[in-house]
Chain A
Amino acid sequence: MADIKLTKLNKSYGSVHILKDVSLDIKSGEFMVFVGPSGCGKSTLLRAICGLEAISSGQLEIDHAVVNEVPPSKRGIAMVFQSYALYPHMSVYENISFALENQGLPKDEIRKKVEKVGELLQLTPYLARLPKALSGGQRQRVAIGRAIVRGAKVFLFDEPLSNLDAALRVQTRMEIAKLKRDMPNTTMVYVTHDQVEAMTLADRIVVLQAGRIEQVGTPMELYEKPGNTFVAGFIGSPKMNLIAGAPAERIKCKTMGVRPEHLEVVARASAGTIAGVVEYTEVLGSDSFIYVKTDYGLITARENGKTAVKNGDKVHLKATDAHVHRFDENGKRIEGK
């Protein structure tokens, strides 16, 4: 059991202010995902929780104890690095047992624990190998094994899947989801820029931009009720269309947001439709993306299956009213219809 509580956390490198007043409650056993564009401070925030970066001001509590000054190894955390960071000169067994050895556990206890983890992650046949003799997925599993064996209360993942190829990424993502299910009391914090990982794995997502938290919520909350235009544009693929001007004024807001999947391509104009010319279509088989050039910029629409529209067609886009988001001049969400 371990809650993590951040209160007005700040981090600067000299005059560069990276994290600005970050306050966040991560509940025990929660799978929390930090997402944001490159350089938004998500990795720095994770490293601050880990203890690899000193905190400039503010307070970090793990399990109701302030740990600002506590070294990483005493925080009850384990970290899985983006690069795996396996010790190249040690065998898989030694890699996994290194932390236990540092704790001064007796040899036979270490052996028992390492073998158990090896079994759990299907690494038993590889325990005597060096990391260089393993595949990318196996190395990733060793890195996770190192975290598990310590029995840490909090797991920190720093973009663990970004070095794997697409197929392996999906598989490892499922393994991490399963791992979380098997360890319901372990708090996990996961940093990624891949929103599919964020949407599928997270209990709650934290969206960061330029060192500030933009919104915290469950994946569906962020999808259905983005708090501002940044979150609206960041969550969802393809991006939500943000339309300013006449269509937005019609529904009394500054910016109108509508997702491609909630736009319908119709042949005839009616109230509230937006006229345009098809610039480009992408047909993926399961669905098609239609890019329409309008007076309000390029708008993306999505259709199921193959689409009948062709490049250069004159079309009208109709938004499903229930799925239109409204934002004010500051980019904040306006609730209600």
Chain B
Amino acid sequence: MRAATLVAVMALVTALIRALPFLIFRKQTPGYISYLGKVLPSAIIGMLVVYCLKDVTLAARPHGLPELIALACVTAAQAWKRNAIISILSGTAIYMVLIQTVF
């Protein structure tokens, strides 16, 4: 019963957070919010990349090298082929090989 209550609280609060901006700006979206809506996506994706790498330690071996190499591969593949599936699969495969065999 306690577990069910906690799961319900987590579900409810998460849904509320996601719905809140829609509930607040139900009718007219203010210009400032529309502006944020346009510029936020690339800023947030940038923040998420950093977020994914937050636990990489540069000071100790392997000095973030597997991440750096794999990210370079993802970026290069994306710039070359413009196909997210190819970029992600190749980058992930290289990363797995690097941490399982090289580093």
Are A and B a genuine interacting pair, yes or no?
no
